[in-house]
């Protein structure tokens, strides 16, 4: 005799199957993760999941005011794989109800791995013992990072403190450290950040006069509060060698088609050339600004060309990296491949430059092909007033070049 399921039993089994399916995915809502580094440091980070299935969910890494989206989430059995395409990285984790455990690793499984675990519902970053901050760290700082090769690097630190909560970023001639978030208690502070590459971790002690001694990702630094702290003029670091005035090159796009600034598309137009890489965090901040800017201004007689220097040179890899970058940031301007991501490759592609210090570097080129200004690095939105000032100068420079006659 053939047995059939009663409606009640069928419903119960359906509910159980649905529950099992729901449990096999990462719970929707806030999470707190911790990286367990080889040196014993435990570096916390925060993220949020929106959506209940791999097909619809998004995972956002939270650093201060920023919500930085992961590229994708895929699941297999009781495991989830959270991809960060721009860094070739992924979080491979086992889902155990409202806990995750696994590793951060390269998507091709090469290189070292960092153990990680996460707990659902926790919104704090660093634990505190309730001790009140000994001082307010808010302000600008002259910072010196001690190099492992005996050389020092000068930076500017920007700290903002509210109670025991602390946000910060460090500016250098190459860019900024983006959004750092943490806490202050007593005479000590802790900061961290994670957007899919390696986690950043800063900790230090300070006195009431604002003198800081700290470590950053294993290296040492000192900082002194100074309202006038400043870096060299970013417009004077990179320039054309003697004998060069105009700027030209021929490089392939993602499909291998050769493109030159002498092409009809760029004739009698102002050209903004950005030299970067799809793996570069400051270049991502730059693209997030220039992509919508181009959409609003492309009909004014201006073109943007992004030249990407990548971690691998094979065309399939380059095409995938550049297409992912364009999709993520809404890039509709010309994107070209410059070569491998090293300074020698940049020098070979652009021999007119006196040096190359930073991904990104921005060249402002007039309608006749003359380089008017070169901006080294990028001060992103985490830098506040510096970012606002850059946007103002960017627009003023383009306006001035558009007014110049071609004859």
**Residue 1's pLDDT is what?**
42
Residue 53 — left, alpha, or beta (φ > 0 → left; ψ -120 to 50 → alpha)? beta
Which pLDDT does position 246 carry in this prediction? Answer: 85
* 104 and 28 both lie in a single domain: yes
- The answer to whether 285 touches 380, Cβ cutoff 8 Å, is yes
In a domain, 390, yes or no: yes
Tens-digit pLDDT string for the chain (407 aa): 444 444 443 333 343 344 444 446 899 999 999 999 998 999 999 999 999 887 889 999 999 999 999 999 999 999 999 999 999 999 999 999 899 999 999 999 998 999 999 999 999 999 988 899 999 999 999 999 997 777 899 999 999 999 999 999 999 999 999 999 999 999 999 999 999 999 999 999 999 887 999 999 879 999 999 999 999 999 999 999 999 988 889 999 999 999 999 999 999 999 999 999 999 999 999 999 999 999 999 999 999 999 999 999 999 999 999 999 999 999 999 999 999 998 888 988 899 999 999 999 999 999 999 999 999 999 999 999 999 999 999 999 999 999 987 65
- Do residues 254 and 374 share a domain? yes
pLDDT of 406: 63
- In whole angstroms, what is the distance from residue 237 CA to residue 173 CA? 9
Domain-embedded: residue 177: yes
Residue 239 included in any domain: no
Considering the entire predicted model, what is its pTM? 0.90
**Shared domain check, 379 and 261:** yes
Q: What is the pLDDT of residue 64?
A: 93
Range of the domain at 381: 250-403
Q: Are residues 82 and 212 in the same domain?
A: no
d(CA 194, CA 211): 26
**Residue 130 domain-assigned (yes or no):** no
Which pLDDT does position 24 carry in this prediction?
61
93 belongs to a structural domain: yes
Q: Does 370 lie in the same domain as 315? A: yes
Closest CA to 340 of 306, 314, 375: 314
| Residues 280 and 321 both lie in one domain | yes
User: β-strands 334-340, 302-310: how paired?
Assistant: parallel
Q: Are 300 and 269 in contact (CB under 8 A)?
A: no
Q: How many domains does the chain have?
A: 3
Q: What is the pLDDT of residue 210?
A: 78
The reply to whether 201 and 278 lie within a common domain is no
Q: Is residue 351 part of a domain?
A: yes
Task: Confirm whether 40 is domain-assigned.
Answer: yes
Residues 98 and 292: their CA atoms lie apart, in Å, by 38
Give the whole-angstrom CA distance, residue 364 versus residue 34. Answer: 43
The CATH number covering residue 80 comes to 2.40.128.120
* 75, 204: one domain: no
The CATH number given to whatever domain includes residue 324 is 3.40.30.10
3-class secondary-structure state, position 15: helix
Last residue of a domain, one of 120, 150, 179: 120
Q: What is the pLDDT of residue 271?
A: 98
Residue 76, classified by CB atoms within 10 Å of its CB into exposed (0-12), middle (13-18) or buried (19+), is exposed
User: What torsion do the CA atoms of 366, 372, 374, 379 make, to the nearest 10 degrees?
Assistant: -80
pLDDT at position 13 is: 38
Tell me if 87 is assigned to some domain. yes
Are residues 264 and 220 part of one domain? no
């Amino acid at each position: 005799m053939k047995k059939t399921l009663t409606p009640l039993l069928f419903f119960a089994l359906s509910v159980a199957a649905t529950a099992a399916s729901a449990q096999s995915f990462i719970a929707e809502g806030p999470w707190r993760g911790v990286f367990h580094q080889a040196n014993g440091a435990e570096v916390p980070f925060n993220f949020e999941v929106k959506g209940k299935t791999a097909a619809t969910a998004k995972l956002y890494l939270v650093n201060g005011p920023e919500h930085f989206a992961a590229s994708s989430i895929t699941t297999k059995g009781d495991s989830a794989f959270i991809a960060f395409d721009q860094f070739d990285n992924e979080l491979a984790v086992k889902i155990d109800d409202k806990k995750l455990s696994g590793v951060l690793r390269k998507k091709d499984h090469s290189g070292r791995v960092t153990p990680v675990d996460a707990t659902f519902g926790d919104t704090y970053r660093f634990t505190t013992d309730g001790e009140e901050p000994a001082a307010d760290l808010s302000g600008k700082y002259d910072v010196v990072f001690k190099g492992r090769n005996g050389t020092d690097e000068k930076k500017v630190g920007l700290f903002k403190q509210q109670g025991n909560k602390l946000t910060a970023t460090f500016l250098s001639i190459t860019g900024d450290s983006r959004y750092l978030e943490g806490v202050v208690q007593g005479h000590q502070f802790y900061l961290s950040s994670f957007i899919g590459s390696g986690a950043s971790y800063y900790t230090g002690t300070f006195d009431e006069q604002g003198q800081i001694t700290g470590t950053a990702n294993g290296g040492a630094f000192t900082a002194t509060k100074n309202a006038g702290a400043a870096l060299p003029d970013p417009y004077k670091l990179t320039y054309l060698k003697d004998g060069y005035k105009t700027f030209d090159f021929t490089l392939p796009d993602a499909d291998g088609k050769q493109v030159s600034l002498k092409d009809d598309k760029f004739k009698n137009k102002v050209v903004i050339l950005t030299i970067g890489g799809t793996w570069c965090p400051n270049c991502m901040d730059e693209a997030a600004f220039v992509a919508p800017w181009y959409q609003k201004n492309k009909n004014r007689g201006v073109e943007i060309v992004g030249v990407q220097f990548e971690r691998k040179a094979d065309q399939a890899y380059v095409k995938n990296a550049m297409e992912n970058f364009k999709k993520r940031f809404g890039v509709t301007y010309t994107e070209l491949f410059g070569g491998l991501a090293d300074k020698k490759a940049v020098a070979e592609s652009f021999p007119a430059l006196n040096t190359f210090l930073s991904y990104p570097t921005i060249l402002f080129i007039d309608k006749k092909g003359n380089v008017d200004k070169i901006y080294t690095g990028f001060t992103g939105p985490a830098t506040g007033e510096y970012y606002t000032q850059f946007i103002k100068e960017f627009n003023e420079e383009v306006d001035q070049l558009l007014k110049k006659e071609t004859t």
